[in-house]
Amino acid sequence: MSSQPLSPNNFRDLFDSVEAFLFDCDGVIWKGDELIHGVPETLQMLRSKGKKLVFVTNNSWKSRSQYAQKFQSLGISVSQDEIFSSSFAAAMYLKVNEFPSQNKVYVIGGEGILEELRLAGITAFGGPDDANKTIDLKQNWFVEHDKSVGAVVVAQILIPLDDPVLNINKVAGYLQRHFIEGIVDKGVNEGVAVVSYYDISMSSNRYGTLCIRENPGCLFIATNRDAVGHMTALQEWPGAGCMVAAICGSTQKEPVVVGKPSTFMMEFLLKKFNVSCSKMCMVGDRLDTDILFGQNAGCKTLLVLSVLDLSFFYQFGSSVAKLFGLSIHNLSSLSSTRRVHKFSGLPDLSYAQDMKKDERERVGSVNIP
C-alpha cells in the first residue's frame, strides 16, 4: 500500500482508532519561535475529543519545563508531563541503567540536558559554558581531564553567529547555500576555507573525546543524529548529527542514541499514558526520525509536509509513510467537514516498490508491502 493523503475517506478510520497523538515539535508545531498555521485549533480540537497529546522532540536544547514555558509563551497550554525531549531521554537512560552515583557526565550541548540530569540526581558539567572555550595547542601541551567522567552526552551546540572565530554554523550555512558538488575546488576558487573539526572553536569536543578514549567504560550517548534542525523560522541549521559525527570520528566509536528513531522514549510513554502502541499515531515531518520512530514502535504514522525535503519524499515517502498531509491543521479541518478535501502542491506519489537495498538502509529497517 502506497502513501495516501489524509482525506474524509480515511480520516475517520484514523481518528477513531487513535487514543494518543504523538507530535514532533520543530517543523510540526513551530518553526523557530513561530507557530505553524492551525496548530492551536488542531490541539484544542483533539483535546475536546478526549485524545491524549504527547510532544516528542529530538531537540535537546531545552528541558521539559523550558519547553512547557515555550508552549505557554506561544499561547498553548501544555504540561511538563506531556513533553518527552531527548534531553530527558538522556537522563532517563543513565538513571534506568543505574549510572554510578560517584561518576559524572560531561555534556556537549545545551542547558536542557544539564537541567534534566540534575533533576535525575546525576552530577553533570560542561554544556554552554564550554562551547566557546578555545585551546592554544603548544609543544608538549597536556590536558588534564576528569577521570570520574563515566558518560559523555552529545547534542547540538549553538555558537553565536557574531563569534569572531569561524564557527560550524557559518561553515555549514555556506556549504548549504553554495555547494552541491566540487566543494573543495569551488571553495578554494572563491577564497573560502572549509575548516576541519580541529580548526573550529570546539574545545568541548576535544574534552569529550579525551573522556571517551581514556576513561575506561565511559559511555558515549547521543541525544539524536539529526543532520539539521529548525533553529529559526526561515532556515535549517546544523543539528546534533554534526557534533555526534565529530566525536565518532575522533573516538572511532558509535554512540547509544536515545532520541528518535530509537524507541527508548516509548517505554516511558507506555508507562505514563497506559496506551498501546497500536492506538498511538506519530505525527512528524521527517521520515528518518519521526515516521521511523512510529513504525519501529508499531504506531500509526502521519507525515506532514510543512517543511519536508520533498526530494526525499519523492524517493522514499510513498513506501515509508502511509498517510500524509500538508500540516497538522488537516486534522482539525477534516474533523468538521464532509466534503472532499482537495490538497494542492503535493508531490507525484508514483513510485516503484522495489527499492534497492542500499536505499532502504538509508531510512532504516522498514517493511515495504
Sequence ranges of the binding site: 24, 26, 260, 285
* 81 catalytic per annotation: no
Best CA proximity match to 171, nearest among 185, 156, 159, 154: 159
Binding-site residue ranges for Mg(2+): 24, 26, 285
* Integer Cα distance of 63 and 58 in angstroms: 11
Phi, psi (deg, nearest 5) at residue 30: -145, 165
Please count the other Cβ atoms lying within 10 Å of the Cβ belonging to residue 73.
9
Question: How far, CA to CA in Å, does 110 sit from each of 90, 170, 293?
Answer: 12, 19, 23
Best CA proximity match to 91, nearest among 150, 23, 146, 153: 153
Q: Annotated catalytic residue: which of 26, 130, 226, 290?
A: 26
* 26 catalytic per annotation: yes
Binding-site residue ranges for substrate: 260
Write out the three cell numbers for 46: 483533539
Q: Annotated catalytic residue: which of 16, 24, 199, 226?
A: 24
Identity of residue 29: I
Q: Residue 139 region, left (φ>0) first, then alpha (ψ -120 to 50), else beta?
A: beta
Query: Please, are residues 349 and 2 in contact by the beta-carbon 8 Å criterion?
Result: yes
Active site residues: 24, 26
